[in-house]
């Protein structure tokens, strides 16, 4: 998918299933590439933090020409991770039951959130607590099953946006506002620190039939292209 011609809120990313990442691609990231990597759950018994650290090191090390154990990670003020190496891409990940989605690029600041589509949260109650009033009212007017689906769509767009700016979600979810009832995230309001709305692009993707995710991109370079691959957990 070429984001040069996509609207500010693109309707869908590459269709699943995503092919395996070729070894030749694993050692190089094009300057205008937004690479999405889907990692199904592995068979290891590592705790979540250890599993994610091992996965990040395995994927990122070839791109900066360092051994996995030598990678140096840092964290921004609110905890957003980054890699302390020259030529390191911006990256963000989301992990939930059933898999992990990692996004990396040199051509934007990226945030990603992944959720299971089968979740059935109490949408009206949660929206009144965490969302803008207009969004909560729109969800309250929908049948329960539809409201739950739309809540997940809104949540993924909001959390991906917060992860892109690096604020974390607490206190900021109602400031990111999106249209209700649309497949593609359509931005209707954003916090002042996020800058002008024209700096943002959003892309909804589905790495498989059981998950939905949103990519929030700030200051995406003209010509940014999306690639999507599956990487087996080792």
* Per-residue model confidence as pLDDT tens digits over 199-212: 999 999 999 999 99
Distance, CA of 113 to CA of 163 (rounded, Å):
8
Does any domain span residue 3? no
Does any domain span residue 115? yes
What does the block give as tokens for 220? 């995406």
**Span 144-167, mean pLDDT?**
97
Distance, CA of 210 to CA of 152 (rounded, Å):
13
Task: For residue 20, give the DSSP letter.
Answer: B
Does any domain span residue 4? no
pLDDT value at residue 41:
86
49 Cβ partners below 8 Å, 6+ apart? none
What's the domain count of the chain?
Answer: 1
0.75 surpassed by pTM: yes
* 79 has a pLDDT exceeding 80: yes
pLDDT value at residue 102:
98
pLDDT tens-digit profile of 104-123? 999 999 999 999 999 999 99
What is the number of residues in the chain?
A: 234
Domain that includes residue 191, residue range: 9-230
**Span 157-169, mean pLDDT?**
97
Please classify residue 29 by burial: count the beta carbons closer than 10 Å to its beta carbon, then call 0-12 exposed, 13-18 middle and 19+ buried: buried
Does any domain span residue 136? yes
- CATH number, domain of 20, equals 3.90.470.20
Does any domain span residue 2? no
Q: Is the dihedral of CA 221, 94, 160, 21 positive or negative?
A: positive
Which residues is 150 bridged to in the sheet? none
* 9 has a pLDDT exceeding 90: no
Does any domain span residue 226? yes
Confidence grade of residue 188 (pLDDT, cut at 50, 70, 90)? very high
Evaluate whether 221 touches 108 at the Cβ level (below 8 Å): yes
Does any domain span residue 90? yes
**Span 32-50, mean pLDDT?**
88
Confidence grade of residue 5 (pLDDT, cut at 50, 70, 90)? low
- Nearest 5°: phi and psi at 134? -65, -40
**Span 7-23, mean pLDDT?**
86
pLDDT value at residue 6:
67
Does any domain span residue 1? no
* Mean pLDDT, all residues of the chain: 94
CA distance between the termini of the chain: 28
- Nearest 5°: phi and psi at 68? -55, -40
pLDDT value at residue 4:
59
pLDDT value at residue 230:
97
């Amino acid at each position: 998918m070429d984001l040069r011609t996509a609207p500010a809120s693109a309707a869908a990313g590459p269709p699943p299933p995503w092919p395996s990442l070729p070894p030749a691609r694993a050692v190089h990231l094009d300057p205008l590439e937004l690479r999405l990597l889907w990692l199904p759950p592995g068979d290891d018994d590592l705790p979540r933090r250890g599993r994610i650290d091992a996965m990040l090191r395995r994927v990122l090390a070839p791109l900066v020409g360092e051994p996995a154990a030598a990678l140096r990670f840092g964290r921004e003020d609110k905890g957003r991770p980054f890699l302390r190496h020259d030529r390191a891409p911006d990256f963000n990940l989301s992990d939930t039951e059933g898999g992990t989605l990692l996004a990396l690029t040199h051509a934007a600041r990226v945030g990603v959130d992944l959720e299971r589509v089968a979740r059935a949260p109490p949408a009206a109650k949660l929206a009144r607590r965490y969302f803008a009033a207009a969004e909560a009212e729109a969800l309250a007017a929908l049948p329960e099953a539809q409201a739950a689906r739309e809540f997940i769509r809104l949540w993924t767009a909001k959390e991906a946006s917060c992860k892109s700016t690096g604020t974390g979600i607490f206190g900021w979810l109602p400031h990111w506002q999106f249209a209700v009832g649309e497949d593609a995230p359509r931005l209707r309001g954003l916090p002042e620190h996020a800058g002008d709305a024209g700096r943002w692009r959003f892309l909804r993707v589905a790495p498989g039939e059981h998950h939905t995710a949103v990519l929030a991109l700030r200051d995406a370079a003209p010509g940014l292209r999306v690639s999507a691959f599956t990487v087996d957990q080792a």
